[in-house]
Structure 1
């Protein structure tokens, strides 16, 4: 539940719960008061009598008066200054009780409780209520057991005390409900706020200390849960960035070491050749030509290495422009392999193209994709076994993709090397011999170019006869593919 909903519910409960408890308390108290004060409420009967008088239905008037009489009262009804009904037990005593207050001009309607008993004088509105000459009265005198004034006052005092206790009980119940509700909801909301805040604070302390290998332990589905998830995503990105930086730093160190080694060897050779020429040690023209050819070949090797470094850095910074055109992969590979087959066969590398597709239309940049093919073939050629190598290029269809498999029968790589094979400056040959050569950028360049074609490249880990790389490209008109297809 969200924090906003919790706060809304808290406010509603803080208001509604005390009201409900207050109503329940009043209901309980009213039942208690009703049990303590059992009496006949004559209000509705009086209203009916007045209505009967207005309608001049005097039989109904008498019936209602007798209903009051049955409740334990001696009654006397005066209509238009004449006695219309009088109870049998209405006597001088009753007149005495009524008369004590009847002469009080300020009390034309009253109820009394004194030593003489309980009596009521009620002024009725009848057929001519606007006239002062015709006045209707109803006198009611209780016929129940009389009590002394002292006893009545004592009862009234007790009743007042009971009522005050009832009111106090209701107030205490309402206040207690407010305090309890506020305390419980405050605890719940504070817990909902403080727990994720503590987790976030611990997380920021961990990051401040340089530790990014932790997780925020808060998975509630609320606003703080979203914040904690975003914070954890940020931590993961920082961790990935840190690991990426460390990886690039290690690659940079390897690059510097590799370039130093790879450049130092040909430079040493060039220096040796030129020194021999300058010092006149090479005394024949044939030897001089051979030395110059070695210098030229070594310079070409250094130039290729520098160009490869420049291409990778340009690709890595998205500085290479691609000219994508619709191409049939079947025609592309048949033409490309026909062009390079003889060159590779000189080094005992035999290329085989296999496909059952008549056409496989994709969007590629011919020049850069040809570099992809050449880099993969040259990489396989470096690690051939027994001086002979076979490379099988297989073109197949997979859903909305075309898969291009490059499988060789060379030395292959270990499982530990699979995760690093596409990293820049990585070489399986740690000795960095001149036979395998390069700065370890060939497959890194391949991956960047394939990614620029909205494709993916992966190693088939189940292939055990050498190394198999699989490139997946979307069919023409499709743009995005997922890694691992």
Structure 2
């Protein structure tokens, strides 16, 4: 059962037990004060009707409007006041204040004609006879003694007050006991995991992200603590990743400074040689200038890679997809590179299946992939000639490109990181490079909806996958 349902059930139980306790207290008090309450109400009931009421009814029933004085004399001994009332005014008889109020309250519309009626009005027993011919009423009333009524009400009020005090006290005590019990129980359920979470938050604020929260109890709070631990691990992993990225950036800046300094120094040296007259012949000056120009080309390539990397990272590199046959396109790329590269230093071996399905490809970005793979093999193979085997084949879901060189490969402990930003297996930086080439390849492949992975197979083998284009 969920915590929400248990809390609802507990609250309902508190309410039910409170009401049950209230009823029990009321029942107990009623039992204890039953006789006293009964006597008080019986006394009050007796004060409502006078014992001489039957005689009063008989006298009024036989009286007429001319007999008011006689009727008044007969009623006086039994405690009744008599009056003749017409249109809320006393025409004859008693003019007592209580009788005046009774005359104003009397409504003849609801009285029976020429018949005596008996009713109780406030603290008075009233006998009325309505005579329609004269539009008048003969009224006799017995008003209860005020002192007796006050005394009775006073005693009843005191008894009721004590009853209410006892009931209230009982209810408060019971509710306090129940609330104390259930509050302590809920505190154990709710506060314990909250305290653990607070301790965990304090540890995080102090920089301790390696210690998990350990809590076993309610499922909801266990899930909350597990989520908190997961968040803590995510923050820790992000911190470590940021530290690695920052270190990689520092290494990149250091490496770029080193890689730029070499061609820049070369350019300065050859230009100075021309200025100082060291290159004293036209052939020698031409050689110096050519070498300086080649150094500027190296610098330009390095800066272009960094510029492309920056555009990729910021999302400013556009992708324009077209349907192509990967086999034909790769074959064209190989032919173009073979025309400008020395065959004694580089050899391509191309293999492909026939009738491959088309893929969606950005031609310019794929050229960047091809050049980065080629440059990576040329730099780190360390053999001559560099032999690159390229194979294009079809799988159930993708069209794959396999790139394999004849170099020494990559140490197994480093092969999983060669696609990271700014990562270089050559920590000593004997080879020029920015450490972003394979990262850019991976980024472009993923933008195409594919993936790339590396393995050692008598050299470094890279496998690139491209999703098949939907049939038109």
> TM bucket by the smaller chain?
0.5 to 0.7
Residue 160 (structure 1) aligns with: none
Aligned equivalents of 1:448 and 1:220: distance in 2? 45
- SS of residue in 1 equivalent to 2:291: helix
Which stretch of structure 1 is more off in the superposition, 238-247 or 312-321? Answer: 238-247
The change in CA–CA distance for 1:270 and 1:231 in structure 2 (over 3 A counts) is same
> Quick one: structure 1 residues 271 and 204, their matched pair in 2 at CA, closer, same or farther if it must change by over 3 Å?
same
Task: Tell me how far apart the structure 2 counterparts of residues 22 and 355 of structure 1 sit (CA, whole Å).
Answer: 90
Unaligned runs of 5+ in 2: 25-168
Distance 1:3 1:344 in 2: 72
- With 379-388 and 303-312 compared, the bigger mean Cα shift is at 379-388
Contact 1:259–1:439 (Cα < 8 Å) also in 2: yes
Superposition map of 1:422-437 within 5 A: 422-433=419-430, 436-437=431-432
How many angstroms apart in 2 are the aligned matches of 1:182 and 1:396? 75
Does the Cα contact within 8 Å between 1:218 and 1:225 map onto a contact in 2? yes
Alpha carbons of 1:290 and 1:458: their partners in 2 closer, same or farther (altered >3 Å)?
same
Note if 1:14 corresponds to 2:7: no
Cα deviations by residue, 1:324-343 (Å, 9 ceiling, x for unpaired): 11222122222222322344
What is the aligned partner in structure 1 of residue 453 from structure 2?
458
Structure 2 partner of 1:201: 198
Work out whether residues 455 and 472 of structure 1, in 8 Å CA contact, stay in contact via their aligned partners in 2: yes
Residue 351 of structure 2: aligned partner: 354
| Inter-partner Cα distance in structure 2 for 1:271 and 1:444 | 33
Structure 1 residue 258 displacement after superposition:
0.4
Q: Identify the residue that residue 461 of structure 2 maps to in structure 1.
A: 468
Matched ranges for 1:340-379 at <5 A: 340-344=337-341, 346=343, 348-379=345-376
Structure 2 counterparts to residues 91-130 of structure 1, below 5 A: none
Match of 1:448 among 439, 443, 457: 443
Superposed, which structure 2 residues align to 1:134-283 within 5 Å? 185-218=182-215, 223-225=220-222, 227-283=224-280
Preserved CA contact (<8 Å) 1:348 1:387: yes
Q: C-alpha distance in 2, partners of 1:239/1:408?
A: 38
Shift in CA distance, 221/329, structure 1 to aligned 2, threshold 3 Å: farther
State which of 410, 415, 433 in structure 2 corresponds to 1:418: 415
Say if 1:191 and 1:364 are closer, same or farther in 2 by CA, change over 3 A. Answer: farther
- Cα distance per residue 1:149-178 (max 9 Å; x no partner): xxxxxxxxxxxxxxxxxxxxxx99x99997
Distance in 2 (alpha carbons) for counterparts of 1:298 and 1:458: 33
Q: Is the 8 A contact 2:391 2:401 kept in 1?
A: yes
Shift in Å, 1:227: 4.2
Are the aligned partners of 1:355 and 1:394 in contact in 2 as well (CA < 8 Å)? yes
The 8 Å contact of residues 353 and 394 in structure 2, kept in 1 or not, is answered as: no
Q: Deviations over 1:250-296 (max 9, x none)?
A: 11111111011111111111111122111112212111111101100
Q: Secondary structure at the match of 1:413?
A: coil
Q: Give the 3-state SS of the residue equivalent to 1:395 in structure 2.
A: strand
The structure-2 alpha-carbon separation of the partners of 1:280 and 1:226, relative to structure 1 and needing over 3 Å to count, comes to same
Which shows bigger deviation, 249-258 or 296-305? Answer: 249-258
Cα distance in 2 for partners of 1:10, 1:252 equals: 58
Cα distance change, pair 228–265 in 1 and its aligned pair in 2 (3 A):
same
Q: CA 1:369/1:188 → structure 2, altered by over 3 Å: closer, same or farther?
A: farther
Preserved CA contact (<8 Å) 1:18 1:175: no
2:3–2:218 Cα contact (<8 Å) kept: no
Separation of aligned partners in 1, 2:194 and 2:400? 49
Q: How far is 1:455 from its partner?
A: 1.9
Count of residue pairs the alignment pairs up:
331
State TM-score, norm by structure 1.
Answer: 0.61
Q: Deviations over 1:193-224 (max 9, x none)?
A: 22321222122112211222333334767554
Other structure's SS at 1:278 match: helix
- Alpha-carbon contact 2:381-2:407 (below 8 Å) kept: yes
CA distance in 2, matches of 1:180, 1:458: 68
Structure 2 SS opposite 1:416: coil
Aligned residue in 2 for 1:48: none
RMSD of aligned alpha carbons:
3.4
Please name the residue that 2:3 is paired with.
3
Per-residue CA deviation, residues 359-384 of structure 1 (Å, 9 max, x unaligned), is: 23221101101211221122112222
For the Cα contact (< 8 Å) 1:412–1:466, is it kept in 2? yes
> Aligned partners of 1:225, 1:263: CA distance in 2, in Å?
56
Q: Distance in 2 between matches of 1:355 and 1:186?
A: 75
Structure 1 position 304 matched with structure 2 position 301 = yes
